[in-house]
Structure 1
Amino acid sequence: VVFFIINLPFYMLAWLRLGPQFTAKSLISVTALSGLTLILPDQISFAQLSTPMAAITFGALTGVGLLVIFRHNGSLGGLGVVALIVQDKTGFRAGYVQLCADAVIFCVALFLFPLPIVAWSLLGAVVLNIIIAINHRRDRYIAT
């Protein structure tokens, strides 16, 4: 619910800069993710999952999922909208924009959480953003 609400201001930015179709697809994606986060914890459990494997798997699956959403002209709102606008305006890849934003967020997190938790989360974010940075370019396939 919080994720959905936090993204509301980004829809206006997306509407103005990226268009109504992008905004609608982003709203659908955010709504679906918000709903799934309520359902999935009751449907999936792991008897054993190492922290490094969890971080890498999270990063890879989330990176591929975001790549699919981006290629279909949508986003999960928030910084993803900003990253795509920066990429379109400057050519600086969206994955690198997100990685820079994540670096700031993780620096702040160091003051709030223990170092090992921040480090494993950072590993997942790095994997995610490298997948996006390497694979997402507007001149490649974009579905309508």
Structure 2
Amino acid sequence: MANLSMFGIWNQNPARHSPVEDAQGILCGTMIAALGLYILAKIGLVTSGMAGLAFVLHYWSGWSFGLLFFLLNLPFYLLSIKRVGWDFTLKTFLAVGLTSFLVEIENRFLHIESIHPIWGAIMAGLLLGFGLLALYRHRASLGGIGILAVFVQDRFHIPAGLVQLAFDLIVMALAFTVVSPTVVLYSFIGAVVLNLFVLINHRSDRYIALR
């Protein structure tokens, strides 16, 4: 461990990460999250958060999901800078950019011929959960409505959880306009798995969590 610390791979302070630790954490987190999003895209499902809205717009317009996900997150970085600072914002910008890119190139390396929608929803929810957890532990996220939710809570005293829930309900309602009710049900199952996984495995007093 001492040699690894000397080369900057590990930080001697266990409460902080070295740049190398942050880099591998963000890379691994985005790769896992991108795989979850790729599975959702292959079986035509949506999810919660800004990724869910990007899916709805993708199915409606035919535009690239990765591009939509990247663009939809742009307005929230200003709030992120004000709320949690430059370090978190820059890492999140990098994570969103990498995830958007990886989702777009995933089919060059992976081909999924068949997967049951329920199983796909569950697996995608878990993969997204693992990816988010890795990012949270390196003070990054996949951006999105969580940043706005915290801002609204600070400004208008509306609980951030309620803001996030309201947004997710709107996304699921919009999903009915582009996919079947059965697909929305499968998508809801995946979103529940994702949120339960993060709820059980993430401690907000230990790591920043904005999604």
TM tier, shorter chain? 0.7 to 0.9
2 CA distance for matches of 1:25 and 1:118? 32
Q: How large is the Cα RMSD of the aligned pairs?
A: 2.3
Match of residue 76 from structure 1: 142
Match of residue 136 from structure 1: 202
The Cα offsets for residues 20-46 of structure 1, whole Å up to 9 and x where unpaired, read as: 000011011001101101210221112
Matched, 1:27 2:99: no
Match of residue 114 from structure 1: 180
Match of residue 58 from structure 1: 124
Matched, 1:18 2:55: no
Question: Which entry has the higher C-alpha Rg, 1 or 2?
Answer: 2
- The structural deviation recorded for 1:64 is 1.3
Please give the TM-score of this superposition, normalised by the length of structure 1: 0.82
2 CA distance for matches of 1:97 and 1:61? 24
Q: Any stretches of 5+ residues in structure 1 without a counterpart?
A: none
Q: Any stretches of 5+ residues in structure 2 without a counterpart?
A: 1-66
2 CA distance for matches of 1:99 and 1:130? 13
User: What is the number of residues matched between the two proteins?
Assistant: 138
- The answer (yes or no) to whether the contact 1:63–1:128 under 8 Å persists in 2 is yes
2 CA distance for matches of 1:62 and 1:98? 17
Please give the TM-score of this superposition, normalised by the length of structure 2: 0.58
The Cα offsets for residues 103-125 of structure 1, whole Å up to 9 and x where unpaired, read as: 23112322442101111111111
